[in-house]
Structure 1
Amino acid sequence: MKMFTLAKPAAGIIGALALVGTISLAGAQQPREGERPQPRLADLMQGAQVGHIKLWYAGKAGNWGLATYETKQLKTRLEDAAQLYQSLPVNDVTTMAKPIQAVSAAIAAKDVREFARAYDELTAGCNSCHQSVKLGFVHLRTPSSNPFSDQNFAPGKK
């Protein structure tokens, strides 16, 4: 079994994510009494990006339970974004349903090869959405180094 090690660039990614998270919390609007704070769209998308990375490593390791969980989390974040930010093009959000379903089907079949194909389709969908809202500079790809060295992606004991 191949073990992943934390590369220096990955350590920088973790530091940057922590900094962005801190800045995002500092700039959040204060909710009125009795209201829940609304997450910023950037925070939802950064959470989706983290889930996108973790989904890849879970599927690659054949940890179908974790892959299922990360897929559900990703779907929920996209649904939250569509509901909370109605200015998002509905077509962009709804077109993500097909790639997410393809990932879910590959996970249910426990098919690593099909998972990789569906994951590429999902990533292309993310990038297409970013292009349509003039954020094409936010370009996702299949991760090449694991920034989550503190998590074991191998399936756990039953």
Structure 2
Amino acid sequence: MRFMMLVIPKGYESAPPGTAPDAKAVEAMMKYNEALQKAGVLLALDGLHPPSMGARVSFSGGKPTVTEGPFPEAKEVLGGYWMIRVNSKQEAIDWASRSPMADNEIIEIRQVQEMEDFPPDVQKAAQGLPEMQKGSPGRSERDADCAERGDPEP
């Protein structure tokens, strides 16, 4: 089973552009990330820039409306995530409980929907999704190019 462990740092909703964690927090988090990796459960992980650097696209009447961050009405926002593969929700909880979070942080655990979780008509409608989930052609080249330029993301 795959689970996302979503980091919700309180106060991040109003963080200014360029906000970054301190080096000691990152050092502790890297030890935790290495433990996930050594256990063979880590699939992906990323931190997210604050909402002040983002945008939201909402829809009404079939038309998109773009709102630039920050989003004053937001009470909780994501600061990052881990994608892990474990055997149960309890195992995901156990891993989340070991993370070196600060007093103002929360980890929300959500199981990822798998194709077999859906009824046959939904599986048929989503035909081709597994190939899409593997990534588009050239993704690894884009990732390597971004890393070479020092860009944080593709």
TM, length-normalised to structure 1: 0.28
Higher relative contact order structure (alpha carbons within 8 Å, sequence separation ≥ 6): 2
Larger radius of gyration: 2
> What TM-score comes out, normalization by structure 2 length?
0.29
Greater fraction of residues in helix: 1
